[in-house]
Amino acid sequence: MNRQTLQGLALALMIGASATALNASAQTTAPASATAAQPWLDPKLDADTRADLAVKAMTQDEKLTLVFGYFGADMKPKYTRIEGSLPGSAGYVKGIPRLGIPEQWETDAGIGVATQGSAKEFRERTALPSGMATTATWNPELAYKGGAMIGSEARNSGFNVMLAGGVNLVREPRNGRNFEYGGEDPLLAATMVAAQIKGIQSNNIVSTIKHYALNNQETGRFILSANIDQTSARMSDLLAFQLAMEQSDPHSVMCAYNRVNSVYACENDWLLNTVLKQDFGFKGYVMSDWGAVHSGSKAVNAGLDQQSAGEAFDKQNFLGSVLKADLASGAVSGARLDDMARRVTRALFASGAVDKPVKIAPIDFTANGKITQADAEEAIVLLKNDRGLLPLAKTARTIAIIGAHADVGVLSGGGSSQVYPVGGRAMQGLEPATWPGPVIYYPSSPMKALQARYPGAKITFHDGKDPAAAAKLAAASDLAIVFADQWTTESEDVWTLNLPKNQDATIAAVAAANTKTIVVLETGGPVLMPWLNEVGAVVQAWFPGTSGGEAIARVLTGEVDASGRLPVTFPKDVAQLPRPKLDGDPKAPETPFDVDYTIEGAAVGYKWFDKKGHEPLFPFGYGLSYTSFGYSDLKTSEANGVLTVSFSVTNTGTRTGKAVPQVYVSPKAGGWEAPKRLAGFKKVELAPGASTVVSLTVDPRLVSVWDDKAHGWSIAAGDYDVALGASSRALSVTSTVTLKAQALPVSPRAR
Ligand code: BGC
């Protein structure tokens, strides 16, 4: 039985339950202290030594305890949550009290502390904007602060493992989970996701980067084979993991549901043993996704270290009773079990989870609401503003607000990462009510936030369902703001990039009735905009989180600059995509099929569009500001094989704003997967007339190709164009640099 079926079953049993904040059952709160007999508890020793010492003291059963996890929510009648786990949580692994090794309390995920949909009671917490939105800030500092905030809520909710850090690239804009991830470029995704992981782990808890690897669509995710040549994989999706892991040291990696080149990711020796542990030098543990384990000794010998929620989701307790039998028969060696237990234990020491045990504590939701709001404000991307409609004129007397429940709240994405909002949902009774729902609007109304700013104006709401009625209201108003949304979720893809529920018709009708029409989009990722030429302004607000309404209002009114930039290409048409038709059939979830990623190889997103010469609707890196910027003085230099770029950015407009200068590199001789790659970026705030000099060092792998024979990276000698500008398609300043031939190891940490 797959996760959807099980969660649906559990949810069916809980309908009608009331929502209250969850409290933990008994938790260990005091760190065990070191004695001569338990030297591993000495915090002065390093994590490796401590893990070695602890594992030596463990019995075989104790080691086995650490590698087998339980689901933290009920799925009756199949499964009942075990004692010790936190209600409504993703997972739980027993500890070894005799040795001072704590339990592992696991929670999803990237936007905050989630509650499993099957829970009877909801844990109400602060939600960040979606991962895609945070990436759209191009501001790693905000990602760090957001990570630190949700990590603190996890800690104060009693969790010491946060299943956060989704870095799957957007190969498929229809992927229902794109909202959880970091966009389409390996450097941008890695930088932003790494900053979040660092923030989470600053709370002395474990963060789990996921889903390793090539889990780039939801349709058929349990069965599909993502096929790609190893070289392209290393230069795209795996590079995103590699760079993110080097920058943030996540203590755990979650292997994905899908197969990669026919072999399940959680039993894929090449992915786990060769690439992750040997080449990337990963010292933490590999945990499985929930229901992603299909074998015992095969998975264990391929590098899987911990089975998550085994009893609830997998066919067998592969890393439980099956592993015990495999140890007895010799199918798995004692040394391998030691390695698994050592990796888990090391993570608990290295993160601080042993020395600083988690403890339920109060949460400052007001302070945390400001952190998520700052993130949302910088995430919002101004896509079009050519009739001077934004910032909103102070003189507007009558404003029509139409659609997307903007009178009460903002939309959030669905599935296991769902955070339940503090103060309850803005809307009840939306479909789907059960897995992968419920559909949740956070109670942060853009309309109320605007009303507070325009006390004298008449602001009227229309639900937008009847395009003609919405147009009538728009015609009678000074301006119209149409909110349009698209719920996306784990476990389902969207089958069309058009907005659902006839919203395109509503926007077109409103735009025809009032030339002063502004569209605000709350979507998981790119959508098509057949009405684009008819409207005056378009604002991409993604899923903006707990304080989203306030953030949208502040950008619309110009209290803050519009400073988000697209982390993903918006296509004009699905015909431009590597796979115009999404592979798989949701009605046949058990039928294996292949997804051919050799079509684009490493040319993901804008690289594909550049290679094919496609004109996107909006390009990667794009976004307008309320001011204007000039770029100049581009200088490049090469020292010891490392490329450094410096340049000036000037605010040439009349108000303070934030620029995101981007540097792209192209070899003159070609030879890459696509014409150019993002090599560096920096977000800078500038007062009108002010300039700053930015200097960036380019990671050598971003000017290399993977050389399979040499098992490393290789820079080809020659001239390279370095281009600077405001997006991947607005590169105004260029320079040329000559690089020497160079061979680099697979990673600075390769064993
Ligand atoms: C998701 C993971 C999540 C896990 C635990 C799975 O269905 O793919 O991202 O962490 O469930 O809830």
Q: pLDDT of 669-678, one tens digit each?
A: 999 999 999 9
Neighbours of 588 (CB within 10 A): 12
The token duo for 435 is: 């897995």
Answer yes or no: is pLDDT of 533 > 90. yes
The token duo for 193 is: 């996701």
The protein residue whose alpha carbon is closest to atom 7 in ligand 1 is 290
Question: Does a cis peptide bond (omega within 30 degrees of 0) precede residue 526?
Answer: no
- What is the atom index within ligand 1 of the atom nearest the CA of 116? 12
Q: How confident is the model at residue 294 (pLDDT cuts 50, 70, 90)?
A: very high
CA 246/CA 279 separation, integer angstroms: 12
**Dist. CA 515 → ligand 1 center (Å):** 45
Of 289, 305, 326, 339, which one is the catalytic site residue? 289
- Quick one: pLDDT at residue 11? 32
**Dist. CA 290 → ligand 1 center (Å):** 6
Q: What is the mean pLDDT of residues 328-347?
A: 98
Q: What are phi and psi of 166, to 5 degrees?
A: -80, 120
Asked whether residue 693 is assigned to any structural domain, the reply reads yes
User: Are residues 309 and 267 part of one domain?
Assistant: yes
- What is the atom index within ligand 1 of the atom nearest the CA of 180? 9
The pick from 416, 490, 491 for probing ligand 1's pocket by mutation, whose C-beta has the most ligand atoms within 8 angstroms, reads 416
Answer yes or no: is pLDDT of 560 > 50. yes
Beta strands in 338-464 (DSSP E): 381-385, 398-402, 410-411, 420-421, 441-442, 458-462
Q: What domain count does the chain have? A: 3
The protein residue whose alpha carbon is closest to atom 2 in ligand 1 is 289
The pick from 266, 490, 492 for probing ligand 1's pocket by mutation, whose C-beta has the most ligand atoms within 8 angstroms, reads 490
**Dist. CA 441 → ligand 1 center (Å):** 21
- What is the atom index within ligand 1 of the atom nearest the CA of 208? 10
- What is the atom index within ligand 1 of the atom nearest the CA of 106? 5
User: Looking at 527, 560, 593, which one is the last position of a domain?
Assistant: 560
The token duo for 746 is: 């697979």
The protein residue whose alpha carbon is closest to atom 11 in ligand 1 is 290
74 classed as catalytic: no
**Dist. CA 585 → ligand 1 center (Å):** 21
The pick from 6, 79, 86, 163 for probing ligand 1's pocket by mutation, whose C-beta has the most ligand atoms within 8 angstroms, reads 163
**Residue 660 belongs to domain with CATH number:** 2.60.40.10
- Domain residues for 652? 627-744
**Dist. CA 278 → ligand 1 center (Å):** 26
Asked whether residue 565 is assigned to any structural domain, the reply reads no
User: Are residues 468 and 340 part of one domain?
Assistant: no
pLDDT in tens, 635-651: 999 988 899 999 999 99
With a Cβ cut-off of 6 Å, ligand 1 is lined by 3, 90, 108-109, 163, 210, 289-290, 416
**Dist. CA 491 → ligand 1 center (Å):** 10
The protein residue whose alpha carbon is closest to atom 6 in ligand 1 is 290
Answer yes or no: is pLDDT of 214 > 50. yes
Q: What is the mean pLDDT of residues 299-307?
A: 99
- Quick one: pLDDT at residue 31? 75
pLDDT in tens, 373-413: 999 999 999 999 999 999 999 888 999 999 999 999 999 99
**Dist. CA 706 → ligand 1 center (Å):** 31
User: Looking at 527, 544, 560, which one is the last position of a domain?
Assistant: 560
The protein residue whose alpha carbon is closest to atom 3 in ligand 1 is 416
Asked whether residue 426 is assigned to any structural domain, the reply reads yes
Parallel, antiparallel, or unpaired for β 662-667 and 677-681? antiparallel
**Residue 484 belongs to domain with CATH number:** 3.40.50.1700
- What is the atom index within ligand 1 of the atom nearest the CA of 166? 9
User: Looking at 560, 579, 609, which one is the last position of a domain?
Assistant: 560
CA 292/CA 307 separation, integer angstroms: 9
User: Are residues 657 and 550 part of one domain?
Assistant: no
Answer yes or no: is pLDDT of 106 > 60. yes
The pick from 108, 180, 193 for probing ligand 1's pocket by mutation, whose C-beta has the most ligand atoms within 8 angstroms, reads 108
- What is the atom index within ligand 1 of the atom nearest the CA of 415? 7
User: Are residues 410 and 295 part of one domain?
Assistant: no
- Quick one: pLDDT at residue 17? 31
**Dist. CA 132 → ligand 1 center (Å):** 17
Q: How confident is the model at residue 118 (pLDDT cuts 50, 70, 90)?
A: low
Asked whether residue 658 is assigned to any structural domain, the reply reads yes
Beta-bridge partner residues of 212: 255
**Dist. CA 289 → ligand 1 center (Å):** 6
CA 435/CA 12 separation, integer angstroms: 9
Asked whether residue 708 is assigned to any structural domain, the reply reads yes
Which is nearest to 73 in space by CA: 109, 19, 114, 128? 114
Q: How confident is the model at residue 749 (pLDDT cuts 50, 70, 90)?
A: low
The pick from 258, 290, 491 for probing ligand 1's pocket by mutation, whose C-beta has the most ligand atoms within 8 angstroms, reads 290
- What is the atom index within ligand 1 of the atom nearest the CA of 309? 5
- Quick one: pLDDT at residue 751? 42
- What is the atom index within ligand 1 of the atom nearest the CA of 215? 8
- Quick one: pLDDT at residue 117? 73
**Dist. CA 368 → ligand 1 center (Å):** 24
Q: How confident is the model at residue 469 (pLDDT cuts 50, 70, 90)?
A: very high
- Average confidence score pLDDT of the chain: 94
pTM of the model: 0.96
The pick from 289, 419, 493 for probing ligand 1's pocket by mutation, whose C-beta has the most ligand atoms within 8 angstroms, reads 289
The protein residue whose alpha carbon is closest to atom 5 in ligand 1 is 90
Element (H, E) at 713: strand 712-715
**Residue 278 belongs to domain with CATH number:** 3.20.20.300
User: Are residues 398 and 523 part of one domain?
Assistant: yes
Answer yes or no: is pLDDT of 711 > 50. yes
Which is nearest to 187 in space by CA: 679, 700, 642? 679
CA 265/CA 249 separation, integer angstroms: 21
User: Are residues 343 and 271 part of one domain?
Assistant: yes
**DSSP character for 179?**
G
Q: Is 722 exposed, middle or buried (0-12, 13-18, 19+ CB in 10 A)?
A: buried
- Quick one: pLDDT at residue 398? 97
Instruction: Measure the CA dihedral 649/650/654/656, to 10°.
Output: 50
- Quick one: pLDDT at residue 51? 98
Asked whether residue 369 is assigned to any structural domain, the reply reads no
User: Are residues 347 and 418 part of one domain?
Assistant: no
CA 695/CA 491 separation, integer angstroms: 42
- Quick one: pLDDT at residue 29? 55
Q: What are phi and psi of 128, to 5 degrees?
A: -75, 165
User: Are residues 384 and 341 part of one domain?
Assistant: no
User: Are residues 200 and 337 part of one domain?
Assistant: yes
User: Are residues 413 and 313 part of one domain?
Assistant: no
Question: Which whole-number Å values give the CA distances from 532 to 386, 518, 570, in the listed order?
Answer: 11, 10, 13
User: Are residues 393 and 338 part of one domain?
Assistant: no
Answer yes or no: is pLDDT of 5 > 60. no
Answer yes or no: is pLDDT of 362 > 70. yes
Q: What is the mean pLDDT of residues 78-99?
A: 96
Asked whether residue 613 is assigned to any structural domain, the reply reads no
The token duo for 507 is: 């926007």
The protein residue whose alpha carbon is closest to atom 4 in ligand 1 is 290
Q: What is the mean pLDDT of residues 1-25?
A: 37
Answer yes or no: is pLDDT of 666 > 50. yes
**Dist. CA 151 → ligand 1 center (Å):** 17
User: Are residues 386 and 299 part of one domain?
Assistant: no
Q: What is the mean pLDDT of residues 699-717?
A: 97
CA 560/CA 370 separation, integer angstroms: 14
Q: How confident is the model at residue 119 (pLDDT cuts 50, 70, 90)?
A: low
- What is the atom index within ligand 1 of the atom nearest the CA of 108? 10
Answer yes or no: is pLDDT of 285 > 90. yes
- Quick one: pLDDT at residue 346? 98
CA 411/CA 100 separation, integer angstroms: 43
Asked whether residue 23 is assigned to any structural domain, the reply reads yes
**Dist. CA 116 → ligand 1 center (Å):** 10
Q: What are phi and psi of 448, to 5 degrees?
A: -65, -40
- Quick one: pLDDT at residue 41? 97
